[in-house]
């Protein structure tokens, strides 16, 4: 194991699901480095929010961007230096709300990068407003009597947008998270991992998820229709089993390959 720790003081709340993402990402990168990935070529780009502090806690190159703006600089970095391994860490408010158009374009272009979405279904850093994945009726700081709108299913949206790797994990499934992160980083194309990262302070969903999650088995990620069906099984609102694992995987030309060809 290579040491990827930093000296930054961790300010996440005790029990926050971000700790699992941090541990899994350090383990995934360390394991990939042992298998030959040059760690000096890894760049983490983060947004603004609790999730974004991860850039301070992993000892690789990093770029702290603006809220909702993870994917434009990440795309620029990848285009300027295609040999770099680019990983974007974004929040649900960040990626699915304020920066949604950037996320759609990164998926549509099939930029060869990994998007890790810390989907706690709440604005954590700004103390509990609702986001595009908060369920109908969510009571938060900006909606004390409950939201009147249903959430989006981000994986369904990403499938329709052209993402070539789609997966889901939770902050209570460390081993699976590490495995998915490794596979997503190695995928050639736009890989998105939606992590049901629990915010213990503003939306504690540990018990809810623990009762419903299961790991995908006998699933063919190369089959678009099967992927769509599994992605739609739980729509982030209804009470249904919640599948974890890799839903979809497809080979397709990447954005930067198009530039290399001059097309
Ligand atoms: C352009 C812009 N809009 C709004 C904000 C205020 N802001 C900072 S963090 C945040 C919410 C973060 O929520 P999310 O992206 O879900 O991340 P989390 O804190 O939950 O990890 C907001 C609205 C900002 N910093 N910049
Ligand atoms: S507010 Fe929520 S997301 Fe932010 S550090 Fe605390 S538990 Fe984690
Ligand atoms: Mg959030």
Q: Provide the whole-model pTM.
A: 0.98
Residue 160 parent element (H or E): helix 154-161
At 194, give phi and psi (nearest 5°): -90, 110
Length of the chain: 263
Pocket around ligand 1: residues whose beta carbon is below 6 Å from it? 47-51, 66-67, 91-94, 98, 118, 120, 122-126, 131
Pocket around ligand 2: residues whose beta carbon is below 6 Å from it? 12-13, 16, 18, 50, 120, 124, 199-202
Task: Supply the residue whose CA is at minimum distance from atom 8 of ligand 2.
Answer: 16
Q: How many helices (H) and strands (E) does the chain have?
A: 10, 8
Q: Please tell me the number of the ligand nearest to residue 127's CA.
A: 2
At 109, give phi and psi (nearest 5°): -80, -15
Q: What is the sign of the dihedral through the CA atoms of 25, 213, 155 and 119?
A: negative
Q: Please tell me the number of the ligand nearest to residue 202's CA.
A: 2
* Residue that is written with structure tokens 């158009």 in the block: 101
Own/partner pairs for 220-228, CB < 8 Å, 24+ apart? 221/246, 221/247, 221/248, 221/249, 222/249, 222/250, 224/159, 224/248, 224/250, 227/159, 227/166, 228/156, 228/159
Task: Supply the residue whose CA is at minimum distance from atom 1 of ligand 2.
Answer: 124
Closest CA to 180 of 106, 127, 117: 117
pLDDT, tens digit only, all 263 positions of the chain: 899 999 999 999 999 999 999 999 999 999 999 999 999 999 999 999 999 999 999 999 999 999 999 999 999 999 999 999 999 999 999 999 999 999 999 999 999 999 999 999 999 999 999 999 999 999 999 999 999 999 999 999 999 999 999 999 999 999 999 999 999 999 999 999 999 999 999 999 999 999 999 999 999 999 999 999 999 999 999 899 999 999 999 999 999 998 876 55
Task: Supply the residue whose CA is at minimum distance from atom 4 of ligand 1.
Answer: 67
Task: Supply the residue whose CA is at minimum distance from atom 22 of ligand 1.
Answer: 126
pLDDT for res 197: 98
Give the residue extent of every domain in the chain.
18-261
CATH number of 18-261: 3.40.50.970
pLDDT for res 261: 61
Instruction: Name the residue of 18, 131, 133 whose CB sits within 8 Å of the most ligand 2 atoms, as the mutation to test its pocket.
Output: 18
Distance 230 CA to ligand 3 centre (A): 24
């Amino acid at each position: 194991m290579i040491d990827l720790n930093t000296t930054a003081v961790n300010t996440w709340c005790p029990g926050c699901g971000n700790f699992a993402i941090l541990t899994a990402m350090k383990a995934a990168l360390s394991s990939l480095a042992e298998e030959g990935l040059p760690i000096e070529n890894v760049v983490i780009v983060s947004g603004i929010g609790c999730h974004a502090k991860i850039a301070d806690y992993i000892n690789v190159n990093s770029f702290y961007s603006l809220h909702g703006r993870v994917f434009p600089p990440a795309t620029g970095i990848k285009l300027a230096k295609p040999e770099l391994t680019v990983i974007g860490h974004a929040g649900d408010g960040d990626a699915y709300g304020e920066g949604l158009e950037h996320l759609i374009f990164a998926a549509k272009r099939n930029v060869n990068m990994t998007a890790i979405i810390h989907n706690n279904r709440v604005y954590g850093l700004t103390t509990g407003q609702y986001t595009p994945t908060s369920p109908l009726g969510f009571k938060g700081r900006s909606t004390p009597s409950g939201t009147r709108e249903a959430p989006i299913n981000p994986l369904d949206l990403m499938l329709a947008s052209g993402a070539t790797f789609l997966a889901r994990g939770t902050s209570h499934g460390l081993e699976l998270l590490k495995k998915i992160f490794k596979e997503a980083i190695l995928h050639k194309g736009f890989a998105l991992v939606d992590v049901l990262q629990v915010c213990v302070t503003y939306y504690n969903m540990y018990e809810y998820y623990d009762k419903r999650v299961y790991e995908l088995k006998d699933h063919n990620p190369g089959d678009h229709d099967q992927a769509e069906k599994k992605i739609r099984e739980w729509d982030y609102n209804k009470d249904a089993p919640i599948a974890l694992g890799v839903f979809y995987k497809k080979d397709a030309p990447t954005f930067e390959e198009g530039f290399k060809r001059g097309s």
